[in-house]
Amino acid sequence: MTAETKKRLNINYGLEVMKVNNGAFKTQGIAKGFIIQRVNDAPMQTLDDIQKAVKETSTSKEPVLFIQGVYPTGKKGYFAVPLQN
Protein backbone atom coordinates (compact mmCIF):
# COMPACT_ATOMS: atom_id res chain seq x y z
CA MET A 1 0.00 0.00 0.00
CA THR A 2 1.38 3.40 -0.93
CA ALA A 3 2.07 6.24 1.49
CA GLU A 4 -0.51 8.29 -0.44
CA THR A 5 -3.20 5.64 0.18
CA LYS A 6 -2.34 5.51 3.88
CA LYS A 7 -2.59 9.29 4.15
CA ARG A 8 -5.79 9.53 2.10
CA LEU A 9 -7.54 6.87 4.21
CA ASN A 10 -5.95 8.04 7.47
CA ILE A 11 -4.55 4.59 8.27
CA ASN A 12 -1.00 3.48 9.02
CA TYR A 13 -1.03 -0.20 8.10
CA GLY A 14 -2.78 -2.78 5.97
CA LEU A 15 -2.37 -4.96 2.89
CA GLU A 16 -3.96 -3.91 -0.38
CA VAL A 17 -5.60 -6.67 -2.41
CA MET A 18 -3.88 -6.51 -5.80
CA LYS A 19 -5.62 -9.43 -7.50
CA VAL A 20 -8.55 -11.73 -6.77
CA ASN A 21 -8.75 -15.15 -8.40
CA ASN A 22 -11.73 -17.47 -8.31
CA GLY A 23 -11.76 -18.63 -4.72
CA ALA A 24 -12.87 -17.82 -1.18
CA PHE A 25 -12.08 -14.09 -1.31
CA LYS A 26 -14.00 -13.59 -4.55
CA THR A 27 -16.92 -15.69 -3.30
CA GLN A 28 -17.20 -13.51 -0.19
CA GLY A 29 -17.01 -10.25 -2.17
CA ILE A 30 -13.48 -9.09 -1.39
CA ALA A 31 -12.32 -7.10 -4.41
CA LYS A 32 -9.12 -5.67 -5.81
CA GLY A 33 -8.25 -2.47 -3.95
CA PHE A 34 -9.72 -3.55 -0.61
CA ILE A 35 -7.21 -3.01 2.20
CA ILE A 36 -7.01 -5.80 4.74
CA GLN A 37 -6.13 -4.39 8.14
CA ARG A 38 -6.90 -7.25 10.52
CA VAL A 39 -7.41 -10.99 10.19
CA ASN A 40 -8.81 -12.80 13.22
CA ASP A 41 -8.09 -9.63 15.20
CA ALA A 42 -4.35 -9.62 14.36
CA PRO A 43 -2.92 -6.59 12.52
CA MET A 44 -1.80 -7.27 8.94
CA GLN A 45 1.36 -5.39 8.04
CA THR A 46 3.27 -7.84 5.83
CA LEU A 47 2.52 -10.73 3.50
CA ASP A 48 4.05 -13.01 6.13
CA ASP A 49 1.35 -11.84 8.59
CA ILE A 50 -1.50 -12.92 6.32
CA GLN A 51 0.20 -16.17 5.29
CA LYS A 52 0.67 -17.05 8.97
CA ALA A 53 -2.99 -16.23 9.74
CA VAL A 54 -4.22 -18.42 6.87
CA LYS A 55 -1.94 -21.29 7.87
CA GLU A 56 -2.98 -21.17 11.54
CA THR A 57 -6.66 -20.82 10.69
CA SER A 58 -6.69 -23.63 8.14
CA THR A 59 -5.68 -26.14 10.83
CA SER A 60 -7.99 -24.80 13.55
CA LYS A 61 -11.28 -26.26 14.74
CA GLU A 62 -13.18 -23.45 13.02
CA PRO A 63 -11.33 -22.60 9.80
CA VAL A 64 -12.76 -19.12 9.16
CA LEU A 65 -10.85 -15.90 8.50
CA PHE A 66 -12.53 -12.86 10.04
CA ILE A 67 -11.27 -9.98 7.93
CA GLN A 68 -11.56 -6.28 8.74
CA GLY A 69 -10.45 -3.59 6.39
CA VAL A 70 -11.27 -0.54 4.36
CA TYR A 71 -12.35 0.09 0.78
CA PRO A 72 -10.51 2.67 -1.37
CA THR A 73 -13.50 4.98 -0.73
CA GLY A 74 -12.81 4.90 3.02
CA LYS A 75 -15.82 2.72 3.85
CA LYS A 76 -15.03 -0.05 6.33
CA GLY A 77 -15.64 -3.66 5.36
CA TYR A 78 -15.99 -6.88 7.34
CA PHE A 79 -15.88 -10.40 5.95
CA ALA A 80 -16.00 -13.98 7.22
CA VAL A 81 -14.11 -16.21 4.80
CA PRO A 82 -14.43 -19.95 5.40
CA LEU A 83 -11.39 -22.04 4.48
CA GLN A 84 -11.75 -25.56 3.21
CA ASN A 85 -9.65 -28.24 4.87
CB 80 within 8 A of CB 29: no
Query: DSSP character for 74?
Result: S
| pLDDT, tens only, 19-59 | 988 888 888 889 999 999 999 999 999 999 999 999 999 88
State the pTM of this model. Answer: 0.89
